[in-house]
Chain A
Amino acid sequence: MAHNNEMIADDIIGYLHAHENKSLLRFITCGSVDDGKSTLIGRLLFESKLIFEDQLAALEADSRKVGTQGDRIDFALLVDGLAAEREQGITIDVAYRFFSTEKRKFIVADTPGHEQYTRNMATGASTADLAVVMIDARKGVLTQTRRHSFIVSMLGVKHVVLCINKMDLMGYAQHVYNEIDEDYRAFAGLLGIADFTTIPVSALEGDNITEHSDRMPWYNGPTLLEHLETVDVETDDQLKPFRMPVQWVNRPNLDFRGFSGQIASGVTRPGDRIKVLPSGKESRIDRIVTHDGDLELAVAGQSVTLTLADEVDVSRGDVIAAADAPCEVADQFEAHILWMSASDMLPGRPYIMKIGARTVSCTPASPKYKINVNTLEELAAKKLGLNEIGVCNISLDREIAFDAYNLNHDTGGFILIDRLTNETVGMGLLNFALRRSSNIHRQAMVIDKVARAAQKNQKPAILWFTGLSGSGKSAIADIVGQKLHALNRHTATLDGDNVRHGLNRDLGFTDVDRVENIRRIAEVSKLMVDAGLIVLTSFISPFRAERQMARSIVEDGEFIEIFVDTPLDVAESRDVKGLYKKARAGEIKNFTGISSPYEEPRAAEIHVDTTKASVEQSASRIVAWLDERRYLG
């Protein structure tokens, strides 16, 4: 059926030409363990004759040995890597399988369906044109069906097939089909899945997979494969406004300057008016350059190099868009975020965001709510954990060009990366820009930081003291403050006493609150730096990421990290405030060093070892350090 051996034998050239023009369909199968996913995929591979004789022999042997089908072939074994993966301790995640027929090439993303694999399913769905939602005919629409469908609809997979499997176990009865179809229709409506195709099958027996089943004469629709082969995937992408994120600036010599990228949507022709975003500069397409010669027309999905009629500034990460229907530009958004890491998403912590070819810094606010993927209920949340989906406002360190995800996946979908581990920790979908940022025009002020600092005859900076409780941060900071004052320099001090009781009195000591605590302190310090002051902060600030965040919001050279290094046992033996004792007794929760981690600085500007130097000596050293580097005028 799949590969026409006669044609291959008699007219290979004709065959090749026919096959060159095949299209590609990427789909995902969503189902829970034992719904028959593996059996279904295995059968599709088998029926498309992509199984070689040696593989078939191995399959037959395996079927007898470990299969569940007696002497019959167990198709699930063809793809069932998952059991083996579990044994080998490999992450159970997405596997990609390939098969092709006369009409199409297919790439199947095969992912497990349990709730703890939500992120894997979303990964598979992110590149899918179509989703096959599997249902066991005996069980009907279940909680997991809702979960799978929710993810499919959130990621905007364009086509949905409801595949009712194991019809053989329900006597191939039409009423079973009708009931499940109706149930699902009611639910799909809520999710905005406007259109889907329901197909009754038996993956095991092969009914309605590639051939119409005479055991279900009441069903007149397409077989699964027929549907996969014919569903329209020349999507409306080409009808959307033109967008191309610039990946690479192509400059072989001084006479050529092209912009390389993959067209995200729309079509383009030489002469078309375009806008470069976020700068907003306009020009026209001059040439569409490819290795095979210039093109008169390029469409969504193609990777090309464009040259422009005018010399406009374009760099990696910019988006070239249709001038009459450009993307929006903003730096604050509401977004859906799916968290993919075992360490929680902490509001206020800056993450690296990659969207299209652009990389920026992104700070999520507290989630507005998270979504129970099984019931679609909205729940209050302070953070997001692994596999949780929430809606959050995010703010970036600069403006980007974007579209809402539901209008354009390439310009509206992003990933979040942890700054320290480099892990991909989340995926997100931009819903809309928050207008408030565009209304607050940043005032270019005449009296600025430089003017204020000059008046005070100093270089403003933050002296960020970090270290365990009882390490001596405040004591040293206090002496530094006195010495600077004596030198007629202008300082301000932020410490637990004046911040925890005022600005941050609403915050506790959970990880989330600690991050928010530091964020506020960093922002206040920044304002004080703008005022020209030398700011002394002494907070445990146990997490590297937050110290990095504080560093990143001021200019280079304005953040001076001072690691007050006192070993835990020494700090504990000092126990000035009796806190360690209480923490050991379990009376204080989340106490740094005891029940909450302290991440030591790796490259602090100043390292103070309090077991070797007195408070006075350390303070003098810090002042000398500042003086040498001309912070004191």
Chain B
Amino acid sequence: MIHVTHLQRLEAEAIHIMREVASEAENPVMLYSVGKDSSVMLHLAKKAFFPSVPPFPLMHVDTTWKFRAMYAFRDRMAAESGMDLIVHINQEGLDQGIGPFSHGSSVHTDVMKTQGLKQALDKYKFDVAFGGARRDEEKSRAKERIFSFRNAAHRWDPKNQRPELWKIYNTRKARGESIRAFPLSNWTELDIWQYIYRENIPIPDLYFAAERAVVRRDGMLLMVDDDRYPLAPGEAAETRSVRFRTLGCWPLTGAVESTAATLPEIIQEMLLTTTSERQGRAIDHDSSASMEKKKQEGYF
């Protein structure tokens, strides 16, 4: 008997899901947000279709406030994959000068990310978009389907979810409807890290501890990534050994003090740590019901 490990089962499942989408969607796209989950998803896509190049483009909905290192990493990964990279920026939001410092995290995220995503899906008429969300991230995601339907206004209707039986997915949809497909649904954060380690998957350096210029504000350590950072009077950047557990817009993503500079050290730190992953993300500091609301409104 050949032993099939949990990572092999998760990998095979994700590949199966991707191939179903490639076969049944008219115009699929993979949302690529440059974080570790996106890195794993991209890696799985390469595996699913090898020796072919994955038969869909990557799309990054750019809020223009990502870490500079993320942009460089994104462009390199897209080039190496041989896939097309579409970068979409909500031009209206940009014209209105929407940003995290001027408008706060929720307006910024809503306009630049949520609205930006809807715009992009409409513009390119994508009918299925892969996302890297996991069920273990948050209580309200535990019930999310692997194939999640959105109506023409991109709203999620939690009352109208299809049962998913065995590994058979019903991908039929009415005109105007679209699907978010989550191949990493059954992965946990530890699975993601362990897989990155096993498969040697490249991830942005920001995940690894290094000396970085940070400012302490509202209990969070924020990295001064470019000159858009408005320092308050008396505020000064200090250099500390920090790393990031999640990557998003730099003004909204808190760093943690750490010396973990290798993958095993990161995993070690994660396993011995005592707070859950999302604490570093300003957007999720609201209650878990608000997450459900965001999802209904089309935030991934």
Contacts and interface: CB of A to CB of B under 8 A. Distances in A.
Interface of A: 3, 5, 8-9, 12-13, 16, 19-24, 52-55, 81, 84-85, 88-91, 93-98, 100, 104-105, 107, 110, 119-120, 122-123, 126-127, 234, 238, 247-248, 250-252, 256, 258, 260-262, 267, 289-292, 297, 299-303, 305, 316, 340, 352, 354-357, 409-410, 413-415, 417, 422-424, 427
B22 to A, nearest CB: 6
A410 B12 CA distance: 14
A431 to B, nearest CB: 17
Contacts of B1: 234, 238
Nearest to B161: A91
By size class, the interface of chain B is 35 or more
Task: For the complex of A and B, list the 3 residue pairs with the smallest distance between their C-beta atoms, beginning with the closest.
Answer: A24-B6, A53-B274, A303-B15
A8 B272 contact: yes
B225 interface: no
Given A16-B267, A234-B1, A422-B173, A291 B50 contact: yes
Given A52-B276, A96-B135, A262-B167, A88 B292 contact: yes
B281 interface: no
A16 B266 CA distance: 12
Contacts of A88: 158, 289, 292
A387 to B, nearest CB: 12
A340 B190 contact: no
Interface string B49-60: 111110000000
A84 to B, nearest CB: 8
A248 B292 contact: no
15 contacts: A5-B272, A9-B268, A16-B194, A19-B194, A20-B5, A20-B198, A23-B5, A81-B140, A90-B143, A110-B142, A234-B2, A247-B16, A356-B168, A413-B168, A422-B173
A565 to B, nearest CB: 23
A586 B52 CA distance: 65
Given A54-B276, A98-B135, A427-B165, A417 B172 contact: yes
A359 to B, nearest CB: 9
Given A260-B19, A414-B168, A424-B170, 13 more contacts: A20-B194, A23-B6, A24-B5, A52-B274, A53-B274, A88-B292, A94-B163, A96-B142, A100-B188, A105-B188, A262-B15, A316-B23, A356-B168
Most B CB contacts (10 A, CB to CB) among A19, A21, A55, A427 go to: A19
B271 A8 contact: yes
Contacts of B19: 247-248, 260-261, 303
A85 B6 CA distance: 30
Nearest to B5: A21
Contact of A55 (B7, B191, B276): B276
Interface string B1-45: 111111111111001100110110000000000000000000000
A300 B273 CA distance: 37
A127 B161 CA distance: 18
Contacts of A299: 2, 4
B197 interface: yes
Contact of A427 (B136, B163, B186, B268): B163
A316 B20 CA distance: 10
Interface of B: 1-12, 15-16, 19-20, 22-23, 46-53, 135-136, 139-140, 142-143, 158-168, 170, 172-174, 185-186, 188, 190-191, 194, 197-198, 264-265, 267-268, 271-276, 279, 289, 292
Nearest to B46: A291
B136 A98 contact: yes
B158 A104 contact: no
A91 B5 contact: no
Nearest to B185: A96
Contact of A290 (B50, B139, B165, B268): B50
Contacts of A262: 12, 15-16, 167
A247 B139 CA distance: 33
A145 B19 CA distance: 39
> In this complex, which of B49, B161, B162, B163 has the most chain A Cβ atoms within 10 angstroms of its Cβ?
B163
Given A52-B275, A297-B2, A422-B170, A260 B48 contact: yes
A247 B23 contact: yes
B146 to A, nearest CB: 10
Nearest to B271: A8
B264 A119 contact: no
A81 B143 contact: yes
A302 B4 contact: yes
B142 A81 contact: yes
Contacts of B136: 98
Contacts of A97: 142
Contacts of A93: 143, 161, 163
B107 to A, nearest CB: 25
